[in-house]
Amino acid sequence: MKRQTFILTIFIGLLTTSLFGQNYERYKILLDTTLTSKHLGFDKNITVTVPIEWQKDVNRNFPLIIVFDKQNERSHNYILNTIDYLTSNEQMPSSIIISIESAQKYRYIETLHKESDKDGLATENEFFLFEELIPLAENKYKASTFRIFIGHSRYGYFTSSLLFSRINELNGIVSISPFFNQKNVSLTDSIATLKNLNISFRKYYRFGVGNDYPADFIKMDSVIKNLNTPLFDSKGFFFKEAYHNTTPGLTIGNSLYEIFEEWSKIQSKYISNEQKELNILDNLEREILLNYGSKLEFSLGILNGKGWYFYNEGQFEKAIEAWEILMKSYPNFSEGYLYILEAQIQLKRKNDYSDTIERFNVSLASSNFYSEKEKDELMQELENMTK
């Protein structure tokens, strides 16, 4: 079995053709459905997109990213492809993505507060999200308590307003081309109240503005720079010649990268050549928990690469231990058991072969990670290894 030293993208070759048909490397659409909101009083169409390792019977939760304005296909698809790109390159953890469509006849009113218009449904929209959609995501789709909201234009305004009403229930907000003022509502003035924000882990706020609201950007940027609240990690991007519909593409990559930059830095310590031991993992997981307030799993590539590092160093016992750690986070990545078996063969630990082969067979039989053709190829590889 010939392997590279660090196989950070080993799973890319295992993707099904249906995934490529959707232009995603690490995600697949689970379903499109319609929810009838009791708070809003009308239907909301949603799409649930999950990582390729997602599986209903796998005991694992994933960060939740809610993306508004699914009906704007160009910007929506760019945002999802950016998430896919960053996930594929180990720059952010695999997440559950729920995209929400806004019907044109409701989009204005569902993002407007009653202070501005007595018919505004922004509060009801919050209740829909936090009392209907998020519980559904947690109970049915394995969403964790780590949450990021991404909104553009009217939903840039709406998501920014959640800094004040729902800050303790969110980890990050990416607000694109927001306006900060509506009748009787000034988000720029309100953000000054965050100077006394009492939080125990980092909250992220990123906003991007083009040539539509330059004065609003200057004022908001000045306010957040004077907050001096260390755990409120906020930053604005100003694209002075960018049109309103251009800012999603310009804002989203930097914003998500910066939100997960610390996660990427911490998991990189695990794969570092300087780290020869595996017991560092507990300390690194604590670092992530202290920063984000939630557990964020390391990427498949990083965990797999650690095993291959030890294997190529001839440290087969440690390679087995590293791959056992991998299989706890990615139990349907059945190929990991073949890596363990390969290390056992190198150690001539024949008494362990049958147990590892059984675990491989059980995992592969229930795994949705592979196509049927790929499963046949893995079975053939097992046969070749045990001749």
Divide the 387 residues of the chain into consecutive groups of 10 and give the mean pLDDT of each group.
39 39 84 97 98 94 98 96 97 98 96 94 98 98 98 96 94 95 89 84 96 92 89 95 97 98 96 80 95 96 95 96 96 97 95 95 96 96 92
DSSP for 86-116, written as a single string: HHHTTSS---EEEEE---HHHHTGGG--TTT
Distance CA 118, CA 127 (A): 17
Can you read off the two tokens belonging to residue 123? 């509060």
Domains parsed from the chain with CATH numbers = 15-259 (3.40.50.1820), 275-385 (1.25.40.10)
Q: What is the pLDDT of residue 73?
A: 95
- SS3 at position 291: helix
Q: Give pTM, 2 decimals.
A: 0.92
Q: Are 296 and 264 in contact (CB under 8 A)?
A: no
The backbone torsions φ and ψ at residue 177, rounded to the nearest 5 degrees and listed phi first, read: 50, 50
Q: What angle do CA 377, 383, 387 make, to 5 degrees?
A: 150
Distance CA 51, CA 29 (A): 9
- SS3 at position 162: helix
Distance CA 354, CA 358 (A): 6
What amino acid is encoded at 113 in this protein? H
- SS3 at position 72: coil
Strand partners, 174: 150, 206
Q: What is the pLDDT of residue 3?
A: 44
Q: What is the DSSP pairing of strand 185-186 with strand 143-152? A: unpaired
Q: What is the pLDDT of residue 273?
A: 66
Q: What is the pLDDT of residue 16?
A: 37
E-assigned strand segments in 127-191? 143-152, 172-176, 181-182, 185-186
Nearest to 48 by CA among 96, 103, 102: 96
CA distances from 288 to 45, 111, 142, 171, 284 (A): 34, 33, 20, 13, 6
CA distances from 224 to 191, 203, 321, 337 (A): 7, 13, 46, 50
Q: Which residues contact 282 (CB under 8 A, 6 or more apart)?
A: none
Nearest to 201 by CA among 292, 296, 295, 294: 292
Distance CA 116, CA 165 (A): 16
